[in-house]
Amino acid sequence: VVLSPFPFAMSFGQFAATSQFYLHGRSHFTQTGYAKHRKEYADDDLLESQTSLSGKVYMVTGANSGVGFEICRYLASRGATTYLVCRSAKRGEAARQSIIDATSNP
């Protein structure tokens, strides 16, 4: 066992790292941070572009509701082949039919 002459050294290092992580996230990954840094992005926003995803294959977990469902609907609307991975076959089939009806992509 090695005793440090500065018992607070480890805890201060952790505090500094945590603070740095928080401040970086706050300035880059909030709505205002995104708006500020958006000007520096070279490419257009992929969600707003009309990029075709035909020929691409995606597998999405939790695809019968929530974020997974919305991702599947977006991918299908762009022409991608999308595999829905769901715990419930009944809810998965209902989500599949809903996506087909909304996007006309079987």
Q: pLDDT (tens digit, 9 = 90+) per residue, 64-80?
A: 999 999 999 999 999 99
Condensed to tens digits (0 to 9), the pLDDT of residues 79-89 reads 999 999 999 99
Instruction: Kindly report the pTM of this predicted structure.
Output: 0.59
Q: Are 78 and 53 in contact (CB under 8 A)?
A: yes
Condensed to tens digits (0 to 9), the pLDDT of residues 35-64 reads 877 777 776 666 677 788 889 999 999 999
Three-state secondary-structure class, residue 61: strand
The DSSP-derived string for 69-89 is: HHHHHHHHHTT-EEEEE-S-H
